[in-house]
Amino acid sequence: MKVLVIGQGGREHALCWKLSQSPRVTNVYCAPGNAGTGLDVQNVDIGATDIARLVSFARKEKIDLTVVGPEAPLVDGLVDAFLTAKLRIFGPTKAAAQLEGSKVFFKEVMRKGNIPTAEGRTFTSADDAIRFLQEREDSSHVVKADGLAQGKGVIVCSNKVEALDAIKRIMVTREFGAAGDRVVIEDRLQGQEVSVLAVVDGRTIIPLAPAQDHKAAWDNDQGPNTGGMGAYTPAPFATPELMEEVETKILIPTVHTLKRMGIDFRGILYAGIMLTPQGPKVLEFNVRLGDPETQPVLMRLKTDLFTLLSAAADGRLQDLPPLQWDPRPALCVVMAAEGYPGKYDKGHAIRGLDAAAQLPDVKVFHAGTTAKGDQVVTDGGRVLGVTAIGNDLDDAKRKAYEAVKCIRWQGAWCRKDISDKARSPR
């Protein structure tokens, strides 16, 4: 079987790595890929949103299954184009991808399905949004750009001044471009966050192991939001009882609500959950695997990934046996470029990758890298996802940070506290 993975980040490297382990898979291609995917599979020089060329390549190479990594091509309708061309693909249609592509649409689905989430209001005018905030008591809010903003369009605000500044950044100075045509202002929820990713085939929902992402740039959850600075799995507070509640009160109603709206959801349903005193509430939905959650989750998955995703694409998840997991926890530390999530330089040579790769129970997933001659150089904000599995969480953390210490480039940095919240819940 031939598989095409679309994307070029750490999530896509993890997908390529795992899919290539399947005894049913003969070839894995990654479009466009990065320096790391180029070592594990065959890169194809086609951009993730170049729909026409991707369809042409899949036809020419007789690809048996295409797996879409990032959200942008899903929102652009890549899956629809593949289905029209009678090509087998795993991922949601353009209509279903609105669940991530539009915060306003997300709120509409939550309301129609009576799914627990934060109270929120939608605004198309900066003046109206500012007036709304000025008339409210000084409290903490979350201000969200409606469209895609590479994980940076959600601004958590501790007070009214910060919220007003967020409105200006999104709607006035247009920091996120057209994504800021509309904003959603929500009450800020308090509690532990957990990422619940599920494979969905339109009828059957199979949750993956729960993980916890670290969105804030700096230690102790300080600083601006990023695409994610690290993750670990399993999250100890995501008990079997909690997972059952999330499935029955959030995942199932969401899929059913979409179906009532005429949308058949097939792909990954990723719920960002806040564990509040009133129970789990949805912070956001994504329609693809999380990055960096995918890296530690796939490191623990023992079930054949190709078999799982193929069954989902064909609507046959109900025929599969329960997923098999390595009982050991896994942890991913993201190494980033200096300046990220703001402006950063590219092209710095990365040293120590071979030394890190030789450590036991470690895999370095490439995200923002490219090959330049015989060197690997930085090519993005989040550069590497250093991932390890251990006998317990402390062991996994020790192994991951031992590998981090092997790797160097000008301006490299990372959070030092990935997984600490598992020991000190707030």
Would you give the end-to-end CA distance of the chain in angstroms?
Answer: 47
Domain with CATH 3.90.600.10 in the chain: 330-422
Every domain of the chain with CATH number 3.30.1490 lies at 125-181
Within the chain, all domains assigned CATH 3.30.470.20 are found at 192-319
Question: Which class in CATH covers the domain with range 2-93?
Answer: alpha beta
What was the pLDDT predicted at 424?
Answer: 62
Whether the Cβ atoms of residue 307 and residue 363 lie closer than 8 Å to each other: no
- Which residue is listed with tokens 């703001």? 342
Do 3 and 66 touch, CB atoms closer than 8 A? Answer: yes
Q: Please report where in the chains the tokens 């890298």 appear, as a residue.
A: 369
- Where are the domain boundaries for CATH 3.40.50.20 in the chain? 2-93
Q: Domain 192-319 belongs to what architecture?
A: 2-Layer Sandwich (3.30)
CATH number for the 330-422 domain, one of 3.40.50.720, 3.30.70.260, 3.30.390.50, 3.90.600.10? 3.90.600.10
Instruction: Give the whole-angstrom CA distance, residue 127 versus residue 264.
Output: 37
Q: Where are the alpha helices (DSSP H) in 23-158?
A: 35-40, 51-60, 71-75, 78-84, 94-101, 103-112, 126-134
Sheet strands side by side (includes 230-233): 212-213, 230-233, 330-336, 382-389, 362-366
Write down the pLDDT at residue 246: 97
| Tokens at 329, concatenated | 């926890």
CATH 1.20.120 fits 125-181, yes or no: no
Whether residue 425 has a cis bond before it, omega within 30° of 0: no
Q: 149-182: buried (b, 16+ CB within 10 Å) or exposed (e) per residue?
A: bebbbbbbbeebeebbebbebbbeeebbeebbeb
> The pTM is what?
0.94
pLDDT in tens, the chain (426 residues): 999 999 999 999 999 999 999 999 999 999 999 999 999 999 999 999 999 999 999 999 999 999 999 999 999 999 999 999 999 999 999 999 999 999 999 999 999 999 999 999 999 999 999 999 998 887 899 999 999 987 778 999 999 999 999 999 999 999 999 999 999 999 999 999 999 999 999 999 999 999 999 999 999 999 998 999 999 999 999 999 999 999 999 999 999 999 999 999 999 999 999 999 999 999 999 999 999 999 999 999 999 999 999 999 999 999 999 999 999 999 999 999 999 999 999 999 999 999 999 999 999 999 999 999 999 999 999 999 999 999 999 999 999 999 999 999 999 999 999 999 987 644
Nearest to 81 by CA among 48, 55, 53: 55
pLDDT for position 151: 73
The answer to whether the beta carbons of residues 254 and 117 sit under 8 Å apart is no
